[in-house]
Amino acid sequence: MKPEKVNILGKEYKIEYVNNPAEVDLYRRESLWGQIDYWTRTIRIYDNGRQDEDIWHTIFHEVLHGIASSLNLRLEKNENHDELDLLALAFVDVFFRNEWIKL
C-alpha cells in the first residue's frame, strides 16, 4: 500500500506517483526519484514498478525534507543531503524490520 497523503507537522501533503522520473521535477529540468513542493504541498515520487522498499525510502527522504523545512533545520543544504538520505534509509529499515510497514 502506497500512501496518498502525509501530514508533516500539521501540513498535509498530497503524494503523487509518476511513471517517468522527468515528471517528478516540478520544472522538468532533471530526472529525480522524488521531490517535495512546499508551495503546492505535493510530494511527487517516481514509481513505474520500483520495489516497495525503494519507493518508501524516497517517501521518507521527502518527508524528512518537509520536517527539516518546517523546523528550519540545516538538513536542506547540499553538504547534508547525504545524511538526510541515510536517515531516510534507516527509518525505512526500522519500519520494515519491525513490520510497521508490510508489503
**Domain of 41, in residue numbers:** 5-97
Tell me if 102 is assigned to some domain.
no
Please indicate, yes or no, if residue 103 is contained in any of the structural domains. Answer: no
Q: How do residues 44-78 score in pLDDT, each as one tens digit?
A: 999 999 999 999 999 999 999 999 999 988 765 56
Q: In whole angstroms, give the CA distance from residue 33 to residue 48.
A: 11
Does 78 map to a domain? yes
d(CA 78, CA 53): 24
Highest mean predicted confidence (pLDDT) among 27-31, 44-48, 67-71, 92-96: 44-48
CATH code: domain of residue 88: 1.10.10
How many domains does the chain contain in total?
1
pLDDT band at residue 33, thresholds of 50, 70 and 90? very high
| Measured distance CA(73)–CA(48) in Å, rounded | 32
Percent of the chain residues past pLDDT 70, beyond the cut: 93
